[in-house]
Homo-oligomer: A and B are copies of this chain.
Amino acid sequence: MAEERIVTLGEIMLRLSPTGAQRILQAEHFEAVYGGAEANVAISLACFGHSVRFVTKLPANTLGDAAIRHLRRHGVDTDHTVRGGRRLGLYFMEPGQSIRPAQVLYDRQYSAIAEAAPEDFDWNAIFEGAGLFHTCGITLAISSNARAVAMEAVREAKKRGVAVSFDFNYRQQLWSVSEAREAMERFLPFVDLLFAGVRDAVEIMGISATTASDPEGQTREALTPLLQQYGIQHVSSTFRREESATRHHLSGFTLTREGVLHRDEGHTFDIVDRIGGGDAFAAGWLHGWLKGWKPEKSLSFALAASALKHTITGDANIATEQEVFNLMNRKDGFSIQR
């Protein structure tokens, strides 16, 4: 299946972050990167060697051109990105520093993809040669238009036998719990591979609070109902423990019909760039799935990929498969390589 192309769909935005440790309030310079959940997944999978296409709508201006260049630079196909609409979504990101949390200020309303329509896209061309489709909850959240596009895309994918991957990615600044639940209930029947956690199941999908006291049991109780109800193959996610805004610990799980796998491989790290950690996990997990690895290996790889992402500037994990393996296997420890 790794031979087939992966298609991801969503929004790519311009991210503006103050330089150094400055706050937005003080900033006279911003660092600019382009990113968005599904674009980040696309770039990471391309860096792992896959053939990947990202689909979106971008304004026909220089910012749209720059977003495309960012994707192409890392080897993502943008041939079916539609041009038009009013603006590129953007967001301001003030990085966290020690005990000061990062802050995200969205300015993404009225973006081209938020105002796109299903008819803007040529699904036949988009899905030609595709084996896997990926999108996430943010695309459902940004507008009813974008939601319609995503629903159409997933129907078109399913129609062609393309496997569907979906990441919950609930963002409280974008929609309410009830809106999210309703949209998810319509989307999940199409999903084969899900990225979601216990809180998503309980707080969004209304699964009753778990009674287990251990994470394994909680995971099983909260997510098995989703897996069963919607015919999902795997549900995976990270557990994130935050010692500070810039020092985290990651572990994770994969739930399959056979049960739940938990992995804590000691990934504690200082953070260079917090954005895209979940996307790197999803891309890592999908890489294993595409390679036909066992879930244990996919999960270990995904955790190392996600941990590594936090040390890389920009939204996307641009590490190679070998670099993720190095971290998994600590072959080189942390020594300088010379």
Contact = CB atoms under 8 A, between A and B. Distances in A.
Contact of A244 (B27, B29, B334): B334
Contacts of A156: none
Contacts of A72: 72-75
B22 A313 contact: yes
Contacts of A44: none
A2 interface: no
A129 to B, nearest CB: 16
Q: How many copies does the complex hold?
A: 6
Contacts of A33: 28
B26 A29 contact: no
Interface stretch (A183-191, A268-276, A279-287, A290-298): A268-276
Contact of A336 (B29, B75, B101, B110): B101
A329 interface: no
A312 interface: yes
Contacts of A149: none
A213 to B, nearest CB: 21
A171 B338 contact: yes
Interface of A: 16, 19-33, 61-63, 65-66, 69-70, 72-75, 86-88, 90, 92, 94, 96-107, 109-110, 171-173, 242-246, 267, 269-275, 307-308, 310-314, 318, 323, 326-327, 332-338
Given A72-B72, A96-B336, A97-B272, 10 more contacts: A19-B29, A29-B30, A70-B73, A72-B74, A98-B270, A99-B311, A101-B326, A102-B337, A103-B337, A244-B270
23 contacts: A16-B30, A21-B311, A23-B312, A23-B318, A24-B62, A25-B62, A30-B30, A62-B94, A72-B75, A90-B107, A97-B272, A98-B269, A98-B272, A101-B326, A101-B332, A101-B333, A104-B338, A106-B338, A109-B110, A171-B338, A242-B333, A242-B335, A244-B270
